[in-house]
Homo-oligomer: A and B are copies of this chain.
Amino acid sequence: MSGTAASGREKAYAYLRENILTDPDVQGRFLNEQELAAEIGVSRTPVREALLLLVSDGLVELIPQRGAYVPPVTGREMSELMELRGVLESHAARLVIEQGMVPARTMQDTLDQQAALPDELNPEAAREFIRLDTLFHQQLIDAAGNELISRTYSKLHVRQILVGVSALFRTGGRRGQVCAEHQVILDALVSGDSVKAQEAIDHHLAVTRDILLRN
């Protein structure tokens, strides 16, 4: 199997991350350590360590003498995130075009997989949709060849998934729209039009932001 190192800390980390990202109800609440320890099947120690690691993902916040808080995603945060994503993706776009390093095949492949998903999104398909969406953007970023930017971008995106899952259920037909917008971005990249690519990215992020804000 893959990734089944299963040290207690990693098990707790994976469990908590999955739990926070998929269950909208945990937002705005404090996590009970011994409760989680019992659920996961380890002691409080690795649970606490996992919680500390989740701080760096921005998924939990430590309140002294109170414990681990899961901050809800605010509209402002979403807007700020989209702004930052726009800056990083535009930069990557300009760079890969200048250096002729556009990963056209890879990105088109991801896009095709995404387009092949059914329009009606059951929970599992929704997660796959988000995974491919994340991958598409990450591939653009990674192509810029700056590992630090890649890591930074990757961590940022986690926070968006938190709200993306539930938002997707409410928006029918969004799949086709996303794929179309992705295609516009990719076409601009392939054609080497840096300005057009930036515009397409900004447009895509603005639309995404507006949809996420309606929840």
**CB distance B152 to A156 under 8 Å?**
yes
Determine how close the nearest CB of chain B comes to the CB of A80; give it in whole angstroms. Answer: 4
**CB distance A87 to B84 under 8 Å?**
no
**CB distance A148 to B84 under 8 Å?**
yes
Q: Nearest CB to that of A80 among chain B residues?
A: B148
- Tell yes or no: A121 within 8 A of B by CB: no
| Interface SS of chain A | helix
A39-53: which have CB < 8 Å to B? Answer: 48-49, 52-53
Q: Which residues on the B side are within 8 Å of A146 (C-beta)?
A: 80, 83-84
- Tell yes or no: A3 within 8 A of B by CB: no
**CB distance B149 to A64 under 8 Å?**
no
Q: State which of B48, B52, B55, B80 has its C-beta within 8 Å of the C-beta of A149.
A: B80
Q: Nearest CB to that of A150 among chain B residues?
A: B80
- Name 24 A/B residue pairs within 8 A (Cβ), A-sorted: A7-B64, A48-B49, A49-B52, A52-B52, A52-B53, A53-B55, A53-B56, A55-B56, A77-B147, A77-B148, A80-B146, A80-B149, A81-B148, A83-B148, A83-B149, A84-B146, A84-B152, A87-B87, A87-B88, A87-B91, A87-B149, A148-B156, A152-B152, A152-B156
